Structure 1
Amino acid sequence: MKCRYFQVTLISASNLLDVRHVGLMKVYAKVSINGNWDSEWTSPVDKEREKNPRWNCKIKYSLPEKAIKQKSGSDNLVIKLYCKRSFLEDKYVGEVHLSLKKLFDGGLACKNKNYLVYRNDVIGQTFGTLKLSYRFGSRSIHVDDNLGKPNERIFTTEILIGKLDFFNEICGGVTSDSCEVACGILGNIPGIEHGSVGSFF
């Protein structure tokens, strides 16, 4: 299958809706393709900056060419923001949906661009901005989605997700979902709590 690398750098958000009545906003993001659970990655939690969180995390996918070139443009990068709570369910803050085709048509790379944050329960109103950078691979690659070894397997749904690429880049190929990963933020920054990457293999 012909695929293309797609790397997203989740930088920060600004002026988000304060969804807490008591306590501080501790915001994290869930990044996925089309909201599919098996492509989802969860960022670290920013415990200090409240409505203006920063993450500076990189996520890499391998996408089929059709996902970024089909005329319908129906495949999307989905970023949902949540407020972390200790004892109750985390609260929904807002989300951003970006067409992969439109991103690709706009150029192979884009740096530090702001996108409006919306909520799925409010029509026509925005709730802050989300800043990110992205880049696509300059050429297509061929990916075998039926590789035999567990540490070489590429997970597929309707969209091919190259989780191995991201995992190897950050963890050096260690095939364990318990590896401590925060996309470059490995606990050295005060106020940052580690996120999770889910089960990769």
Structure 2
Amino acid sequence: MMKVVGINGSPRKEGNTALLIQTVFNELNQKGIDTELISLSGQNIKGCTACGACMKLKNKQCIMTDDFFNVCLGKMIAADGIILGSPVYSAGVTSQIKALIDRSSIVLAANKGLLKYKVGASVIAARRGGATSAFDTLNHFLHSKEMFLVGSTYWNMAYGNNIGEVKQDQEGMVNMKNIGENMAWLLKKIQGS
């Protein structure tokens, strides 16, 4: 069975970012695709120390094993598709998801092709500004790992401040639903079904 993991980069486990990812998941589940939401809330993911050990060892892991990073990267490698989600913090992504993609980038560079031909999408929850910058950051990571990016009828973002407010952004929620439909279609094409 095909599987998509969604990484919720928000410090709020059940906030607007989780709602957006779950909306995409609903469409995937209806198409018979298994999903798993991974929340970075409350998890420790340290920043990259540029030690270079992963380049020497090439064992698909970071040498730092005392945090959540290797578990998260392992789930990304095992999945057929990946959704990265973040709220906007200071016109960018959260420090939690930034640490994940920074360390992932180096480990994946040392072990080429681990995400190649997987399907990826980014979703952003924003109060007002900075959504495009955050969206670009996540997409740059997915694109540089040779993944196929899934889009929608507009940018993959929805607006709301308090928890649940993104549901009031009708266009944003329709876009999330459409991402799920497009991701399911592409996954099935790649799998030949």
- For the criterion TM > 0.5, the same-fold answer is no
Instruction: Identify, as 1 or 2, the structure richer in strand.
Output: 1
Instruction: Identify, as 1 or 2, the structure richer in helix.
Output: 2
